[in-house]
């Protein structure tokens, strides 16, 4: 049975009153969120508010805008008092913006939120608490939803336990907009490949998996992120350009067999694993629908 997250009216449209920190209360671990942006005036306000309305006290929001000309900068300025660091200037694309943003991050825990996506209420607190309780884990991720242009939720996506082989050969068991990781994980990351324009999230997850191992990932059964779908978005489908980047990543990290018969066999094996996870999390009725849906 599909269960949609409950979201208070105004969470994505207006800033909520801040709750003062009681005197003497220790600060929570610092969380740095990097938001790359370029001409996202239609959506960035909801994205910013989904961060600010987390009611998380020790938060650093960094916005790296690529020189927008559509009103995005005016929206950023509207929340200037709440944004720790932002810049608007030409860059080398989303990967370049992410690298520059994380260079400015000073947190204990990191997150990446695109300027057209959102966090769900309580996402940051839930992820930080989970990492604090499971000190041997370094990366926390959860479920996510698909949203339309007006913040309406039309699909839910249950995450399932991370396996690097599954990510490589079959597809995403998680979403970057519903994922947080410790600073030391990013310290071991080589950085986003500047030439990647579509698949930098895949590159990041592959390298995290290789560096940290499957056991470092912690899945929590909570809705953490919202991925927006709309006509004309950059990640609309598996285009020839996206395929070329997948080939490039496979060559770099040494799994070019992904595109051979052996890789296709592995894909079907992990496809069965996906079906098992859908059954485990949602029941048999939803399995067939999931496996035939282009949105997964």
- The rounded distance, in Å, linking the Cα atoms of 19 and 22 is 9
Label residue 296 by pLDDT band (50, 70, 90).
low
State which residues form the domain around 75. Answer: 27-115
Q: Does 294 score more than 60 pLDDT? A: no
Mean pLDDT of 118-130: 98
pLDDT digits (tens, 9 = 90+) for 251-286: 999 999 999 999 999 999 999 999 999 999 888 877
Report how far apart, in Å, the C-alpha atoms of 217 and of each of 164, 198, 211 are. 10, 23, 11
Residue 295 has pLDDT above 70, yes or no: no
Q: Give the pLDDT confidence of 98-108 residue by residue, as tens digits.
A: 999 999 999 99
Q: What is the mean pLDDT of the chain?
A: 93
Q: What DSSP letter does each residue of 124-184 carry, written as one string?
A: HHHHHHHHHH-TT--EEEEEEEEE-TTS-EEEEE------HHHHHHT--SS-GGGEEEEHH
Answer yes or no: is 89 within a domain: yes
Count how many domains the chain has.
1
Task: Name the region of 122 (left: φ>0; alpha: ψ -120 to 50; beta: rest).
Answer: left
User: Is residue 54, in this structure, part of any structural domain at all?
Assistant: yes
Residues paired with 34 in a beta bridge: 62, 112
Angle of helix 94-103 relative to helix 200-212, nearest 10 degrees? 50
- Residue 245: inside a domain, yes or no? no
pLDDT for 2 beyond 80: no
> Is the pLDDT confidence value at 23 over 80?
no
CATH code at position 66: 3.90.550.10
Q: Read off the pTM.
A: 0.94
């Amino acid at each position: 049975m599909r269960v949609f997250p409950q979201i208070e009216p105004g969470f994505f449209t207006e800033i909520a009153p801040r709750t003062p920190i009681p005197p003497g209360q220790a600060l929570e671990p610092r969380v740095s969120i990097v938001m790359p942006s370029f001409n996202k005036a239609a959506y960035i306000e909801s994205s910013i508010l989904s961060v600010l309305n987390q009611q998380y006290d020790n938060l650093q929001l960094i916005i790296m805008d690529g020189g927008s000309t559509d009103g995005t900068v005016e929206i950023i300025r509207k929340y200037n008092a709440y944004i720790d660091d932002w810049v608007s200037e030409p860059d080398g694309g989303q990967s370049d913006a992410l690298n520059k943003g994380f260079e400015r991050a000073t947190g204990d825990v990191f997150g990446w939120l695109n300027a057209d996506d959102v966090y769900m209420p309580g996402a940051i607190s839930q992820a930080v608490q989970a990492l604090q309780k499971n000190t041997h884990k370094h990366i926390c991720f959860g479920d996510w939803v698909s949203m339309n242009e007006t913040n309406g939720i039309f699909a839910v996506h249950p995450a399932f336990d991370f396996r690097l082989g599954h990510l490589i050969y079959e597809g995403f068991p998680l979403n970057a907009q519903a994922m947080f990781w410790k600073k030391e994980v990013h310290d071991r990351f080589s950085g986003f490949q500047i030439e990647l324009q579509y698949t930098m999230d895949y590159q990041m997850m592959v390298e995290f998996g290789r560096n940290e191992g499957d056991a470092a990932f912690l899945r929590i059964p909570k809705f953490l992120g919202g991925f927006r779908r709309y006509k004309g978005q950059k990640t609309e489908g598996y285009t020839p350009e996206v395929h070329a980047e997948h080939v490039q990543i496979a060559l770099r990290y040494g799994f070019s067999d992904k595109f051979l018969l052996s890789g296709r066999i592995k894909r079907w094996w992990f496809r069965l694993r996906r079906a098992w996870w859908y059954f485990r999390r949602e029941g048999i009725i939803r399995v067939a629908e999931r496996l035939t849906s282009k949105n997964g």
